[in-house]
Structure 1
Amino acid sequence: MYNAESISKVLKGELLQQTGNPEIEHVLLDSRKVIYPATSVFIPLVSQRRNAHQYIKELYEKGVSNFIVSEAPELAQYPAANFILVKDTMSALHSLVAWHRQQFHIPVIGITGSNGKTIVKEWLYQLLEKDYNIVRSPKSYNSQIGVPLSVWQMKPEHQLAIFEAGISQPGEMEHLEKIIRPTIGIFTNIGEAHNEGFLNIRQKINEKLVLFSKSEILIYCKDYPVLNECVLQFNSLVGKKENQEGGLQLCTWSRKTEADFRVMSVEKTGTHSRIEALHKNETLSITIPFVDEGSIENAIHCWVLMLHLKIPQEVIQQRMDQLGNIAMRLELKQGINNCSVINDSYNSDLGSLNIALDFLQQQQQHPTRTVILSDILQSGKSDASLYEEVASLMRQKKIDKLIGIGKNIFREKKCFQQVEGLKSSFFLTTEEFIQQFNQQDFQHETILLKGARVFEFERIGKLLEQKVHQTILEINLSSVAHNIRQYQALLKPTTKLMAMVKAFSYGSGSFEIANLLQFHGVDYLAVAYADEGVELRRTGITMPIMVMNPEPSSFDAILQWNLEPEIYSLHLLQQFEEEVQIAGKTGFPVHIKLDTGMHRLGFEKKDIPELAAMLTDNNYLTVKSMFSHLAGSEDPELDELTRQQGKLFYEMSYELQKALGYAVIRHISNSAAILRHPDLQLDMVRLGIGMYGVDSSEEMQAQLKPVSTLKTTVSQVKHLNDGDFVGYGAKWRAKGPAITATVRIGYADGYPRRLSNGVGKMLVRGQLAPVAGVVAMDMVMLDVTHIPDITEGDEVIVFGESLPVQQLAAWAGTIPYEILTGISQRVKRVYFQE
């Protein structure tokens, strides 16, 4: 049993206060994710932007009584709490979990590499779950925080552990090695280009190899020459030294040369691949339901590992053929009857259920939260204790409706029927639920689908999800969060962040993005018009919202929904003040727009005295911020203009603030200025297109992740003869035998007509295909003569990670803003979190 006293000894910390010795089972790092307050220890992490010690009081009031801190609190405020003082809370987290790992003596598989880590981990779970009670990393928890949370899950009932590890800079793997301490290692592969943070690819490999410093065996592919050289050198320097009894055993496989496991052939037929290999002078084979090279490589890693664990070859053959796709993300889609559907229906375990429920809790757009949950098939716990824990999760996460499917959850339904306020129903099979399904039972709800693969919840998803046009815009919410963090890292600790969600969040959606921003503690939102703000309020967004183009006709809505208007003229100020008086309100927040040279909207310097007179000692209005716009913060040739604008803004805002006599937030920086003009960060910055993965600076662009992927499908393939024309106006003609593919997108979807006749290109089967003919309203034809085996239904990438939106904008002679904001609302948005 762990308690404050035993943990303080492990960490060699100072037990500042001990008022009891409750058992500690859970590590809590996020104050928003309290589930088991009585048995949790909160470890407040400190970063440049956030100091989580500020949440101690809030958590104490929620029932948390154990804290590991690096800043001594006012103990008198927490009479019933235990406090352990340490030098650094991140180091304490790592040390605590490393000590926890030492209590277990089971096989532990550690996986690292550039790609495939999560797939290999999840496939190994599928392949071995009948032989072992397995604990594994939830989703892709492989970071300095994710790994400790994964390893902390280890319990006495587990027989095998599988953890993945990823790093972004030198020195990180040393910490993760102590936490995971793998007995078996898998190095999946290595990318050709080195990541940011490493000098070169060799340094990256050597840093990753640190994970296996004390492993017994390392499985890897010899076909990556640099990886093979680094492994051999690593083994000669570290392997023998750290493992005195025989050293680190290397288990190699190859498709090209001699190895412990020699792949002789790979035959692809339709949707399957048959892999034949030579192992210990015996010819072996498996068949997998995949044909892509990445899946073949991942399957071979799993095959070699299973042979090492002495799983019989006939069992391996049978299970490999049953491998399933791994959903690497939580998908949020529009559902029937104004519902939203979160699809996470490929597995069901407590770890991933927690993550999915956190994502569900972020969604504020509907009044009802519903969970459709299958049996949890492997937990190492009795059904009674397992479903009592799940019922506790439903209570803590304030779930309104639960639909349980499976004989085990059906048998333990009393656990859920005792949860106050939870409406529950149960079915023995998915088929039984589908037979009794009624669309009218689901109205204005956010529905989480969480099921083990064998329950085939994708069938339920088809009933609940709104039928969509085959052209979709995928939005990666994890990338949005990543990009925000990249910009936050550049800000001074006191600088606030306003996120621009106007124009349907640059085409990415409204409440879906706003929910994420609210969850991640952004300070302000900005919309263009009041109706955008009202929509956000209707969907549960409570944070401050600035309206940048308020109209007198919208003043009622602004006052009713507590929106904050931009004021840019004396006449508008007078009109709004009168409206506030009539409404009987006082101190209503407004934002003052100053014109520093853009000459669009805003007060000029000559207006400041009269503006100050109207605002000074004004009982009806309170100035929340003063701001201006930069004309060319991204352009080095306009840096002098930017400096002049900044100087004028300083002068104008100083004069106005002096007259007001109270502190006002000042902001002028947009996305580009955050990096290029740090002296203009002031009290707040406005982050716009950078949040969506686009920045004019190459330095900043390299740190961002693409957010949106616009994709469609091939509807028909045409075989043309020399001289045949394509599309309106016969603008394009075949030069010899040609093949075209008609795809389901057109200018009504937002694909610019100026990309006609070879100007624009799309990706089909990884190759660029130029537009053939004129872009039509609903379709585009592509010249795919040079791309073999194109078939109807093939996926087509219009823009995304492999074809950046910046390139599409360049072809169209415009800017990424126009492309993103021009995507039609008939193109359905699919949101996902990795």
Structure 2
Amino acid sequence: MNTEQFYSLFLQSGKVTIDSRKIEKNDIFFAFSGDNFDAATLADQAINSGALAVILENQDFENQDKNIFCVASTLEFLQELAVYHRQQLQIPIIGLTGSNGKTTTKELIHAVLSERFNVQYTSGNLNNHIGVPLTVLSVRSEHEMAVIEMGANHQKEIEHLCTIAQPDFGYITNFGKAHLEGFGGVEGVIKGKSELYDYLITHHRTVLVNENDFIQVEKTKGYSPTITFGKDTSDYQFELFSEDHFVGLQYQNVKIISKLTGEYNFTNLCAAASLGLHFGIDIENIKKAIEHYTPTNMRSQIVKKGDKTLVLDTYNANPSSMSVSLANFISFEGSTTIIIGDMLELGEESEKEHQNILNYAAELGFTQIITVGENFKQVNSISPAFENTAELIEYIQLNAIRSENVLLKGSRGIALEKSIDFI
């Protein structure tokens, strides 16, 4: 069984899934196995649930009469199928990576482009070596373009994902202190994320450039084609403004206010608006798309709870995103409590970076500082510190938070959002 032979069956399918619990009629189930479980044992069950075909690695469960096929590697076959499918697609694909803001930018771009086109885009955070091929395979004949998010925590990963997604346009949101352990420091982050540039330049594709980011400018110097924003001489110029803690942008005489907090989201808005304008979308429709977009993914999300304003940013955290979140939050009027969780995957820089953030928070002068996670607890001698969110919940049940404004910011693994019901 090779990908070209299997492709005709794929075209008859509803979707590709790796979750046996979500199989629907005519789906293709890729049976990924872990250390303690062989998903191939679910092959017959998947067919009985309506699956059109199953791909697995264990030959004992192969039954070609039932469209249960054994391959050397389910992962490699998934990726090869995605590459083959991508080669058949005649639509523009926008690739997106960066240290911070990838998912928010992806959703904004999708919202804007959807004003005119049928756009497929990465669901949730399916942005890795499994998620990217799944996203590519979710692009079907009715779609007119796609936005594919690519995440990475080590070098050569973006390079590999580009060979699968084969983007025609690309944008790197920024270069920050994220996944330092895997990348080997900030320079490693820049090199790893810039693999998107390497692909785009090598294949003469279009790069979206924030000309206020000197790294983006340096990495794309002298290259064409580009789409630019950020400077008076850029293709598109936007002005920043804010309203009731929400960030907005102005293009010519049109003011657009989002439902996102933090000036750090301004460039995310600019990227989406620039692509919209490039693809011929009227600024009034861009305004409608951005103003209707409501973040619900625990990223720069404002939640009103009684007399309190909560800022939810609990999906990801690194020193770069933590610093700008704190700088934004101190501008809120009234008393302020910050609940900050550990920043993960920092390697040998972890202790220093957690101490730097704690020092910065103290300098800003928040009403109350609470930390959650072992890394913060090791360096925190000035405020309440808890090893996990369960301990935090016990504390706030006995010690009500009085502040009018509460920021929750931490890595996904800390799960600070579990404490919301108790604030």
TM-score after normalising by structure 2: 0.69
Picking from 191, 196, 212, the partner of 1:223 is 212
Match of 1:249 in 2: 225
Match of 1:322 among 284, 291, 304: 291
The CA deviation at 1:191 is 1.0
Q: Which residues of 2 match residues 60-99 of structure 1 at below 5 A?
A: 60-64=47-51, 66-75=53-62, 78=63, 80-99=65-84
Letter in 2 for 1:59: A
2:158 maps to a residue whose letter is: M
Bigger Rg, structure 1 or 2: 1
Cα distance, 1:180–1:797 mapped onto 2, change above 3 Å: farther
One-letter code aligned to 1:205: K
Alignment-mate amino acid for residue 169 of structure 2: I
Candidates 101, 125, 135, aligned match of 2:110:
125
Deviations 1:184-220 (A, max 9, x none): 2222211146633223233223334355353631102
SS in 1 for 2:95: strand
- Kept after mapping to 1: 8 A contact 2:371/2:377: yes
Question: Corresponding residue for 1:266?
Answer: 240
In structure 1, what is the Cα distance between the partners aligned to 2:116 and 2:109?
Answer: 11
Change in Cα spacing, 1:193 to 1:136, as seen in structure 2 (3 Å) is: closer
Tell me, in whole angstroms, the C-alpha distance in 2 between the residues paired with 1:287 and 1:713.
24
Asked whether the 8 Å contact 2:256–2:291 carries over to 1, the reply is no
Shift of 1:768: 2.4
Structure 1: gaps spanning 5 or more residues: 1-7, 236-247, 278-282, 331-343, 345-457, 480-692, 694-701, 703-711, 718-740, 746-762, 770-785
* Structure 1 segment 552-571 matched on structure 2, within 5 A: none
2:291, 2:311 → 1: CA distance?
31
Report the Cα distance in structure 2 between the residues aligned to 1:179 and 1:71, rounded to whole angstroms.
25
Which one of 276, 281, 294 corresponds to residue 264 of structure 2?
294
Deviation at 1:74, TM superposition (A): 4.8
Asked if 1:162 is matched to 2:147, the reply is yes
Identity rate, percent? 22
When residues 474 and 329 of structure 1 are mapped into structure 2, their CA distance, relative to the original with a 3 A threshold, is closer
Query: Structure 1 residues 814 and 55, CA, compared in 2 at 3 Å: closer, same or farther?
Result: same
1:44 aligns with 2:31: yes
Structure 1 position 799 matched with structure 2 position 347: no
Distance 1:472 1:286 in 2: 26
**Cα distance change of structure 1 residues 40 and 311 upon mapping to structure 2, 3 Å threshold:** closer
Q: Which runs of 5+ in 2 are unaligned?
A: 320-328, 340-356, 402-415
Whole-Å separation in 2 of the counterparts to 1:198 and 1:744: 29
Q: Given the superposition, is the C-alpha separation of residues 183 and 207 from structure 1 closer, same or farther in structure 2, using an over 3 Å criterion? A: closer
Q: Which amino acid aligns with 1:98?
A: V
* Structure 1 segment 812-827 matched on structure 2, within 5 A: 816=387, 819-820=391-392, 822-825=394-397
Alpha-carbon distance change, 743 to 43 in structure 1, aligned in 2, over 3 angstroms: closer
Match of 1:768 among 362, 367, 384: 362
In structure 1, the residue matched to 2:413 is none
**Residues 270-326 of structure 1, C-alpha deviation per residue, up to 9 Å, x if partnerless?**
45666456xxxxx5654324562222111111121122112234544x436624331
Q: Structure 1 residue 56 and structure 2 residue 56: aligned?
A: no
Mapping for residues 163-202 of structure 1, pairs under 5 Å: 163-192=148-177, 195-199=180-184, 200-202=188-190
Which residue identity does 2:362 align to in structure 1?
A: L
After superposition, the C-alpha distances for 1:442-497 in whole angstroms (9 at most, x for unaligned) are xxxxxxxxxxxxxxxx9xxx9xxxx8795999897x89xxxxxxxxxxxxxxxxxx
Change (3 A) 1:111 1:471: closer
**SS of the residue 1:162 aligns to:** strand
Change (3 A) 1:260 1:87: same
Q: Does 1:146 align with 2:146?
A: no
Q: In the alignment, which residue of structure 2 is the partner of 1:108?
A: 93
CA deviations 1:105-134 (Å, max 9, x no partner) are: 122222111122221222223223231122
Q: Deviations over 1:558-613 (max 9, x none)?
A: xxxxxxxxxxxxxxxxxxxxxxxxxxxxxxxxxxxxxxxxxxxxxxxxxxxxxxxx
The two structures, once aligned, show a CA RMSD in angstroms of 4.8
Is contact 1:167-1:208 (8 Å) kept?
no
For the 8 Å contact 2:112–2:273, the answer to whether it is kept is no
- State the partner residue of 1:207: 195
Indicate if the aligned counterparts of 1:94 and 1:175 stay in contact, CA closer than 8 A: no
Shift of 1:137: 1.4
Amino acid at match of 1:254: G
Q: 1:229 to 1:178 in 2, by over 3 A?
A: same
Match of 1:831 among 395, 418, 421: 418
CA displacement, residues 614-636 of structure 1 (integer Å, 9 cap, x when unaligned)? xxxxxxxxxxxxxxxxxxxxxxx
Name the residue aligned to 1:355.
none
The aligned length equals: 369
